[in-house]
Amino acid sequence: MRRSRRDFLVGSMAAVAGGVVTAGLSAAVPGERGRAAAEPQTPVPATPAAASAALLKGDPDHPQPAGFDRLDDLWSKRAIQRLQARLHEEGIDAVLLGDRWNIIYFTGLWHTSTERPFFILIPGEGLDLTWFHPSLDRDLVSSWWIKDRETYFDFKHGEGAFPNLGKVQMGATVDLTRWVLKGLKKRGWAGKTVGVDVPITADLQDAAADVLPKTTLKKVGDLCDRLRMVKTPEEIALTQRAMNYFSRIHAFARDYLLTHGTDKTDFDVQTAATQYGVDLIMKDIKRDGKPHTAVGILVDIAVRTGVGTAYPHPNQFHHNRIKKGDALQVSGEVKIGGHGGELYRAYQIAPWDPFHEKVWEVHTDCCRIQAESSAAGVTGSYVAKMVHDHQVKNGMAKYVYHRPAHGEGSEGHQPPYIALGDHTMLEAGMTFSNEPGLYVPEQGFGYNHSDNVLVTEKRGVQMGSVPYTKEWCFLKL
C-alpha cells in the first residue's frame, strides 16, 4: 500500500508538537560572543534509543511530496517542447544528445552509460525522435515510447556483424560517429543546423563535413543545462518525497548510534542505515521487475568517524571504531526517479572542548546563512560571499576548503554553484546542496552538514527535516 504524503511524521510529530527546539540564526553562534574561553559544556544527556523520529521537524514551506515514483512520458514530452522552443530561438533545426543525463531528462529513458555510444535525435518540432543505440539496450529502447531507432551490435561494432540475428562475421570496424551521421543524413538532416551536447572535435567536424555536407554543428550543452537547472513542480515533489525518506534514515542512524555507542564502527552504522533506507523506500515503490519501474533509486549512505571527518574528500576506506570525543558524519544521497539530494549531519561525541563547539556553531550558522540568502534574484557569488564572510569574521579562514554548495541534479553536482566566481542569478525552482564545511586536520576533526536547498522567491528552503541543533548532534554515548 502506498504511504500518505506525510507518512514520515505520522505518530511522531503529534507527540512533540510545540516542543521541538528551533534554533534561529542569532541563537546558533553563542561562541562568537565569548564562548571560546568557557568551560566545556555539560554533555547533552543521551536521548533514549528510537526517539529520534520525534525530533524531526518539517519546514511549513516544504512542498507537498510526490505520490508517484517517476516522471512519466507526458512530462518528457513537455520537456522536449521546452527544449524545442529554445532551439527555435537559437535557429537550431534539431539536436543530437549523447550525454546520459540529458537523454534521461528529455526522454525519460533510464539507461547505463559506458564506452558504447548512445544518442537520441530530437527534431526542432514534433515528436519523431530517433535512437542510435547498442544492441544490449534493445529491450529498454523498444519498450519505451520513442520507436524510431538505429542499432549497432556492440563496441567495437564489426560491419554486418549481428550475432543476435545469426550473423557472426569479423567485419571491418565501424566508425560509429559516421554511422550516426549517416542515420541523420538518411532522415534528411544534411545541410541543416544540428545542435550537439558532446565536444565538437576536429574529428567530428571532419566526419560531418564528409557525411553531412553543408551541415552546421552548434554546441547545446549549456542550453540543456539551463533547462535542467530550474526544477518543475513534479521534480520538486519527487525531491521532497526523497528528502522525507532521508530524514527518517537519519533518525534511524541516530538511534543506532545511541543504542550501540562505541561498540560499533562507522561502517556498521553506514551498513545498517543503508539497509533500513532501502527497505523503507522500496516497500513504497511500484514495480514488477521489468524495465521502466524502480528507476533512478539511490540510497547512498556514508558514515565516517574521527580523523576521517577532518578532510573534505578523504581517500581512505572508513572502517573505524566509534570513540568518545570523535566528530562523526552521517552523509550521502537519496533519490527517487532521479530526484532528491544530499542530507548530512555532523555529530560530536562527548567529551568536547570549547574550540570544537565554536567550529561546529560557526559551520551550522553558515548553513542557515546560505539557505536564508538563497532567494530568487541574487547571484551564487553573493550567497557564497555571505557565507565566507561569516567564516572569516569568526576566525575560521584556515579551516575553509571549498565553496558552500553546488547545484543539485540527477547526476549529483550540477551548475550553477554557490561559489565566489559563479555570477548566475538564482531562480525559484533551483536546488542546491548546503555544505559550507570546516575542517581541522591538525586536531583530527571537521564538520559538514548538508541539505537540499530549494530556491523560492523569498528564501531558500532546506528540504530535510533533520534538526541542526545540539540536541540532535551533540551526543553522549
300-342 pLDDT tens trace = 999 999 999 999 999 999 999 999 999 999 999 999 999 999 9
pLDDT reported for residue 74: 98
Angle (CA) 419-425-431 rounded to 5° is 70
Angle (CA) 373-452-473 rounded to 5° is 95
CA distance 378 to 159: 55
As a whole number, mean pLDDT of residues 225-232 equals 97
CA distance 342 to 271: 18
271-303 pLDDT tens trace = 999 999 999 999 999 999 999 999 999 999 999
Torsion of CA 72, 77, 78, 80, to 10 degrees: 130
Indicate the pTM of the whole model: 0.89
As a whole number, mean pLDDT of residues 192-217 equals 97
As a whole number, mean pLDDT of residues 335-354 equals 98
Question: Quick check: do 7-68+231-475 and 73-229 share a fold?
Answer: no
- 405 forms beta bridges with 418
First-last CA distance in the chain: 37
What share of the chain has pLDDT > 90, as a percent?
90
Strands 193-196 and 216-219: parallel
* pLDDT for 404 beyond 80: yes
Higher pLDDT, 143 or 29: 143
The full set of domain ranges for the chain reads 7-68+231-475, 73-229
Q: Which residue has the cell 530524514?
A: 247
User: Phi first, then psi: what are they for 175, rounded to 5°?
Assistant: -75, 105
CATH class as words, domain 73-229: alpha beta
* pLDDT for 372 beyond 70: yes
Which of the 8 DSSP states describes residue 27? G
pLDDT reported for residue 73: 97
CA 370 to chain CA mean position, Å: 17
Longest dimension (CA), the chain: 80
pLDDT reported for residue 17: 30
CATH class as words, domain 7-68+231-475: alpha beta
